[in-house]
């Protein structure tokens, strides 16, 4: 019975939170995209509340954070932008809720954030194109910092490795399909969700 309650609670919380956050993030909300986000949000909610993972408190925070990340991914896919109205509150919320995690510390969250800032600075310099700014979008760089605060150190390294690998595959597919640009945020979000929902998957923990 407890498993059923956790599944239903996770699905309801994740689905509803993603629907609302994606609706707030999009300039022109679209029912199809909102339904897609809600469905994936319900799945991440179930995974957050799965038996043997976290107690209800951390599971709820995990589900809400996953919903915010999914809202960012939906917005980037739909409108090719990462919304400040979600990214900044998510950064503050991640740092303020860092104490709830049983498997990482507040210090790990702040170190992860600091490391991500260093990575962002390096990427901005190394990928800079003459008179055109960095190859990575500013929103993508902000998202990296937020992921650092969410998953902490050393999980941010695992998150970025996954995200950039997936992004590289997506870029290769786009090149073959002769698409000029891709939304990179969803790939970073995917890496962050793996680190958030399966922290034990990292080879460095």
Tens-place pLDDT, residues 27-81 = 988 899 999 999 999 999 999 999 888 899 999 999 999 999 999 999 999 999 9
Q: Range with the lowest mean pLDDT among 39-43, 84-88, 135-139?
A: 135-139
pLDDT value for 139: 87
Per the CB < 8 A criterion, the answer to whether 141 and 189 are in contact is no
Phi/psi region, residue 52 (left: phi>0; alpha: psi -120 to 50; beta: rest), is left
Q: Where are the domains of the chain?
A: 2-201
pLDDT value for 73: 96
Instruction: Using the predicted structure, report yes or no on whether residue 205 has a pLDDT greater than 60.
Output: yes
Give buried/exposed letters for 162-193 (b at 16+ CB in 10 A, else e): bbbebbeebbeeeeeeeeeebbbbbbbbbbbb
* Residue with more model confidence, 112 or 182: 112
What is the C-alpha to C-alpha distance for residues 131 and 191, in angstroms, rounded to an integer? 31
pLDDT value for 120: 85
Tens-place pLDDT, residues 90-107 = 999 999 999 999 888 999
Asked if residue 154 has a cis previous peptide bond (ω within 30° of 0), the answer is yes
pLDDT-derived band at 167 (thresholds 50, 70, 90) equals confident
Per the CB < 8 A criterion, the answer to whether 94 and 65 are in contact is yes
Global pTM value: 0.93
Task: Give me the chain's average pLDDT, please.
Answer: 89
């Amino acid at each position: 019975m407890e498993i059923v309650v956790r599944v239903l609670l996770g699905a309801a919380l994740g689905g509803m939170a993603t629907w609302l956050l994606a609706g707030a993030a999009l300039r022109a909300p679209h029912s199809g995209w909102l339904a897609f986000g809600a469905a994936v949000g319900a799945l991440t909610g179930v995974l957050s509340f799965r038996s043997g993972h976290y107690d209800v408190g951390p599971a709820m925070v995990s589900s809400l954070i996953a919903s915010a990340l999914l809202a960012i991914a939906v917005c980037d896919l739909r409108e090719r932008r990462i919304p400040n109205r979600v990214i900044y509150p998510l950064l503050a919320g991640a740092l303020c809720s860092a104490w709830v995690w049983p498997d990482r510390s507040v210090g790990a969250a702040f170190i992860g954030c600091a490391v991500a800032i260093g990575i962002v600075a390096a990427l901005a310099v190394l990928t800079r194109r003459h008179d055109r700014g960095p190859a990575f979008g500013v929103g993508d760089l902000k998202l990296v910092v937020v992921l650092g605060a969410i998953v902490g150190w050393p999980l941010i390294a695992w998150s970025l490795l996954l995200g950039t690998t997936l992004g590289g595959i997506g870029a290769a597919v786009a090149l073959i399909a002769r698409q000029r640009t891709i939304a990179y945020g969803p790939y970073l979000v995917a890496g962050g969700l793996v680190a958030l929902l399966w922290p034990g998957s990292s080879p460095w923990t």
